[in-house]
Amino acid sequence: MLKTFSNKTISPKAFGYDSDAQAYMNACQDPFTFSQKNAIENGFIALKAGNNNFSLIERCYLFSNAGRPNSLVSLKNPTGTKAAEVASPALTWTSAGFTSDGSTSYINTNFNPRIDSITITKNSVCVFWYCNTDVQDSKVDWGCYDGTNATNNYVNTRFTDDHLYAGIFSGDEPDFGSNTDSRGFYALEVIGTTASVYKNGVLFGTHSLSIGTQMPNLNFYVCGFNFEDASVQSLTTRQQSLWGIAASGINHSELYNAFLLML
Each domain of the chain, given as residue ranges in start order, spans 55-251
- In sequence order, the β-bridge partners of residue 57 are 246
Please report, in tens digits, the pLDDT of each residue of the chain (263 residues total).
566 433 333 444 545 899 999 999 999 999 999 999 999 999 999 999 999 999 999 999 999 998 999 999 999 999 999 999 998 878 898 889 999 999 999 999 999 999 999 999 999 999 999 999 999 999 999 999 888 766 778 899 999 999 999 999 988 889 999 999 999 999 999 999 999 999 999 999 999 988 888 899 999 999 999 998 888 999 999 999 999 999 999 999 999 999 999 98
Distance CA 62, CA 60 (A): 7
3-state class (DSSP) for residue 129: strand
Question: CATH topology for 55-251?
Answer: Jelly Rolls (2.60.120)
Backbone torsions φ then ψ of 83, nearest 5 degrees: -70, 165
Label the pairing between strands 194-199 and 97-99. Answer: unpaired
Confidence (pTM): 0.92
Distance CA 88, CA 94 (A): 13
Q: Helix/strand/coil (H, E, C) string of 133-150?
A: CCCCCCCECEEEEECCCC
Amino acid at 163: H
Helix 252-260 × helix 34-48 angle, to 10°: 170
Q: What is the model's pLDDT at position 95?
A: 86
